[in-house]
Amino acid sequence: MINIVEVEGIEVYAYHGCMEEEARLGGKYIVDIAINTDFSKSGETDHLIDTIDYVAVRKIVIEEMAIRSKLIEHVGYRILNRFKNSFTGPNTFKIKVRKLNPPIEGTVKEVAITIEG
């Protein structure tokens, strides 16, 4: 059985980007996570140990977003690798990193990358 655990709208202030201003001033990011997993055991036992802990998901995102990168693609892959090393089982992960108000000429609400693996 495949189930999905989602943690959406993780808001982070971080310092990613290729421009020096981004490293100095930072910006707002939103990260969405979806994990395909089998949590049928936790449905029976009602024990947190038998499923994906939402707190652990958010903690990994916050820790990886705190490490400066030039590209949000780089941050996304770091998050993916941490998830793969932290959560056992036949899980697949979908990570979306959104950078709000990027420093692009003209009005751009956000840019985003999505990684599945």
State pLDDT tens for residues 99-116: 999 998 899 999 999 999
Q: Collect the ranges in the chain with pLDDT lower than 50.
A: none
pLDDT at residue 2 in the model: 76
Q: How many domains does the chain have?
A: 1
What is the domain-level CATH number for residue 92?
Answer: 3.30.1130.10
pTM of the model: 0.94
Residue type, 67: I
Domain extent for 82: 3-116
Active-site residues, by number, are: 99
